[in-house]
Chain A
Amino acid sequence: EVQLVESGGGLVQPGRSLRLSCAASGFTFDDYAMHWVRQAPGKGLEWVSGISWNSGSIGYADSVKGRFTISRDNAKNSLYLQMNSLRAEDTALYYCAKAVTMIVRASIDYWGQGTLVTVSS
């Protein structure tokens, strides 16, 4: 059974940093691209970032480019999102998600339950 378990969310002040982690199990992690998708309270889905199976291809939404960094450790079956210079508008539930194939340009077939990030003073 595919499991994606996010951690690292919490309350953080504007301008500070936070690192999200996602522990993956139930599939061969290094065969698939991975994504971070967020959802602000009561709002729709927003793609944040994606990374290919070997970290060779990475993409970011314009809203986070230059502030967020996605990475993965295939040896640890883990996905990360380093979030710097956080803003109030980054407040959201952050989902870790698995792509259907090894490239970023693919749909998403599994999602975690999300970790909540709240940016507020």
Chain B
Amino acid sequence: EIVLTQSPGTLSLSPGERATLSCRASQSVSSSYLAWYQQKPGQAPRLLIYGASSRATGIPDRFSGSGSGTDFTLTISRLEPEDFAVYYCQQYGSSPVTFGQGTKLEIK
């Protein structure tokens, strides 16, 4: 099973700042089958990025994904108030599918 480790566990930033979230895999993620999700309290997750770098429908371009192999990054170029949430990475290239433990992005 591929273990995904996200860092940091909590990220404290202010609106307008740039956020960089990391997801490291215990082994290579095939074909960059890596997705990022955003989850707000009391809500279901929302797909942000798939295929490591492709934005899902309706996702603002301030969200971008990069990386390959074992190291992936989600970048939010300029934080808006609605971006403060928990973010999860997911690999779906190997069975079983696995999620990272999440990064909480909180307002500083």
Contact = CB atoms under 8 A, between A and B. Distances in A.
Interface residues of A, number: 23
Contacts of A50: 97
A79 interface: no
Interface of B: 1, 33, 35, 37, 39, 44-47, 50-51, 56-57, 86, 88, 90, 92-93, 95-102
A109 B56 contact: yes
Contact of A47 (B39, B51, B98): B98
A1 interface: no
Contacts, number: 65
Contact of B97 (A47, A95, A111, A112): A47
B100 to A, nearest CB: 8
Interface of A: 35, 37, 44-47, 50, 59-62, 95, 100, 104-109, 111-114
A47 B50 CA distance: 16
